[in-house]
Amino acid sequence: MRRFDLSGRTVLVTGASRGIGAALSLAMAEAGASLVLGARKIADLEETAEAATAAGAAVLPVALDVTAIPTIEDAVRAATERFGRLDVLLNNAGVEEVRPSFEVDEALWDRILDTNLKGAFFAAQAAGKAMRAGGGGSIVNMASLTSMVGVPTAVPYGSSKSGLLGMTRALAVEWAPFGIRVNAIAPGYFRTAMTDVFYENAAWQERMLGRIPLGRFGALDDLAGAAQFLASDASAYMTGQCIAIDGGFLASI
């Protein structure tokens, strides 16, 4: 298991206070990494920080809003000052709001794209600079099934996640000479606070389960292995790729 070992490495997680970000933070801690946990409010990171500390990780919570670029730069600086280096970025922070496309206004479009795409790019840029100085690293972007398929009433979100997949591939090619790998994870249907509105609809649940070959929705722990793989030397020759963790959804289309 040494290829998956993250001991001695520093991981920055954006959107680490809940849901997928919290689950991935714990996965990094269990693999031996030191953690820099980012969220808009440090107080919101308390539960994640406690769980990661209990798993044996050294933890630094930071105030990080990916729509405020200086806070990204501050978080990266704090990571290198505290731990001496930054090796991995889990680019997870994101927002979603379901709305018919004819009702999407500029404010909603900007809020989603500024967080999911613009914010993700500048987080990658700041982390990438630190990784270049340190001799390399791994960036894992949190894509989506909407990076690859169309979902009605999720046009801004799907646009942001499609752009994120394109960004993943472009950065992978550009930054390969610096030893920086850039990959993505595309979760399928996972129930989190952000997606809970879908799961409140029993008919929707029944319809979606019928389209998932494994016959169940994802559990957050289902994402841990892929994140550890992409963050570690186990994926040393892999860049510019996107792993869909979706119970077979895309394969069945």
- The tens digit of pLDDT for each residue in 46-75 reads 999 999 999 999 999 999 999 999 999 999
Q: At residue 166, what are phi and psi to the nearest 5 degrees?
A: -60, -40
Q: What is the pLDDT of residues 133-183, one digit of tens each?
A: 999 999 999 999 999 999 998 999 999 999 999 999 999 999 999 999 999
Query: How far is the C-alpha of 123 from the C-alpha of 129, rounded, in Å?
Result: 10
pLDDT at 193: 77
92, with CB counted inside 10 A (0-12, 13-18, 19+), is buried
- Strand, coil or helix: what is 9? coil
C-beta atoms surrounding 236 within 10 Å: 12
Domain ranges of the chain: 2-245
CATH code for the part of the protein at 2-245: 3.40.50.720
Band the pLDDT of 199: cuts 50, 70, 90: confident
The owner of tokens 């997606």 is 195
Judged against a pLDDT cut of 90, whether residue 132 lies above it is answered with yes
21, with CB counted inside 10 A (0-12, 13-18, 19+), is buried
pLDDT at 242: 98
Q: What percent of the chain has pLDDT over 90?
A: 91
C-beta atoms surrounding 173 within 10 Å: 11
Judged against a pLDDT cut of 90, whether residue 26 lies above it is answered with yes
List the catalytic residue out of 157, 189, 199, 237.
157
- 157 is known as an active-site residue: yes
pTM: 0.96
Over residues 247-252, the mean pLDDT reads: 95
